[in-house]
Structure 1
């Protein structure tokens, strides 16, 4: 049995959905499933959420889930977009956004379109820099999760953070 997902275009016609349209719909569904105010105290929930948000991108995207002191989601922000193997991240902009959102904690995430889960030296150094920068304004970095397709790697669970 061959099933195809259909989408409606601007004229009301139904067409076969592209992979990108399906991934965008999945991102919208995860936003409904994990709305603002959701507790992100579970590593598995955070991993599932971030895998759905970042897993299908063909270019590297660096994102942050800004949280309250009780670890409730304030906002998910895709902060920086890059190339197939790198994204430039500006710590000043991360701190500025965290302060604007009145965040008490943050979980960082970025994808590796290559499919390799291993954090690079640059990933480790960036996480250290962000953690130090945010500590100056009393914002806790809870984790940094790498997403590679349908797999994830947690800095916190791996003892890197």
Structure 2
């Protein structure tokens, strides 16, 4: 069992439901990007047909629909600024357009939460989205998600890390 799967298994009810909401939000953001469908249409589809009593069937968890909706709407509303933050955190060898769609969705959701959900510690948000990345990737991508979200968190939440510099 992977570390991410083990952490997911051990989560309490509320924590697992927040994780399921984040996973669903990433899937919805992917669908929006992939199919060029409006965020409202995808939200309606997920809320009516996909987010039943146990969205995460492996762990039998129903996501918090309010958190799911907030993330998807927040990314849609602040997409340009979020994409700029992601682009700025990339190494000079990469451009935003080179990122795979699912990786973009993970990073967009993570950046949205880092910038907007200050009630959740940055390290928790980073860990959550690294776990989401592990649900899709076995390679180096989860490490990339960790590094990029950490870099952005040090910038937008410097007070949580005790410094004002990027990368700590």
Structure richer in strand, relative to its length:
1
So what's the TM-score if we normalise by structure 1?
Answer: 0.30
So what's the TM-score if we normalise by structure 2?
Answer: 0.29
Bigger radius of gyration:
1
Structure richer in helix, relative to its length:
2
